[in-house]
Amino acid sequence: MSLIARSLKPAVASLAVRSTAAVAATGVQATRRAYASEAAAAPSGGSGKLIVNFALPHQTVLKKHEVNQVDMSAVSGDLGVLADHVPTIEQLKPGVLDIISDAGSTKYFVSGGFAIMNPNSVLNINAVEAFKLEDIDSQAVSAGLAESQRLHSAAKDEKVREAAAVEIELYEALQAALAGKSK
């Protein structure tokens, strides 16, 4: 099972390039938010259902799946999306993505990506890695976190330290997710 946590590392490494830019950019608290100046032309055809496309580079998790609500953890804050939500573009940070449908709720841990809500009540989620919470081994997470913290304090190179910081953020989010699940 430590394979699962370890396999997130490549995703972290590839995110490191983009996320350092993101981390640097969101350092400023007062970032401008652009609001929709025109209301969406046509809401979902009255069905009141949220259609979700959840895709990973190596797996299509959900395709045109009808759900009630999706809760996600975005860089701008946590949000819940219902059908006919205002179209929005959100960058996801490592955290829990909760897909709530009539059948129940499925929680995934995503390493990062983007969630875009479209005017036709279609929510597109592109993530680099996603795993169901029950597939994640908490001991491997603790071991990984300790290792990343050690790397961070021992790092002499700026890039290595930033990469370790991204890993720490990831492992702490994983721990929080697992803790939240067991409550």
Partner 1 sequence: MLVRSAIAARPATLVFSVAGQTRNMATLKEIQTRLKSVTNISKITASMKMIASTKTTRAQRAMNVARAYGQVSNDLIKQAEVEKAAGAKELLITVSSDKGLCGGIHSSLSRYSRKHLAENNEVPVVILGDKAKVQLQRAYPENIRYSFNQLGSTIPTYDESSIIASTILNDKSIEFDNAKLVYNRFVSAISFETDAIECYPVSQIVEAPNFKAYEYQEDVLENLNEFLFANSLHWALVEGHAAEMAAKRTAMENATKNAGDMINRLTLQYNRGRQAVITNELIDIITGASAL
Residue ranges binding partner 1 (CB under 8 A): 10-11, 13-14, 17-18, 21-22, 25-26, 31-41, 53, 55-60, 63, 75-76, 86-91, 113-114, 116, 118-120, 122, 124-126, 128
Give residue 28's Cα distance to chain centre.
Answer: 21
DSSP string, 94-129: SEEEEEEETTEEEEEEE-SEEEEE-TTSEEEEEES-
Query: In whole angstroms, how close is the CB of 183 to partner 1 at the nearest point?
Result: 30
Nearer to partner 1, 13 or 154 (CB): 13
Nearer to partner 1, 106 or 118 (CB): 118
Nearer to partner 1, 83 or 119 (CB): 119
Nearer to partner 1, 54 or 109 (CB): 54
Query: In whole angstroms, how close is the CB of 180 to partner 1 at the nearest point?
Result: 24
**Contact call for residues 106 and 135 (beta carbons, < 8 A):** no
**Contact call for residues 40 and 87 (beta carbons, < 8 A):** yes
Nearer to partner 1, 10 or 180 (CB): 10
Query: In whole angstroms, how close is the CB of 168 to partner 1 at the nearest point?
Result: 20
Query: In whole angstroms, how close is the CB of 70 to partner 1 at the nearest point?
Result: 14
Nearer to partner 1, 53 or 142 (CB): 53
Of residues 69, 94, 82, 102, the one with CA closest to residue 176: 94
Question: d(Cα 123, Cα 165) in Å, to the nearest integer?
Answer: 30
Neighbours of 152 (CB within 10 A): 17
DSSP string, 137-160: -HHHHHHHHHHHHHHHHH--SHHH
Structure-block tokens of residue 108: 């995934």
Query: In whole angstroms, how close is the CB of 18 to partner 1 at the nearest point?
Result: 6
Query: In whole angstroms, how close is the CB of 101 to partner 1 at the nearest point?
Result: 19
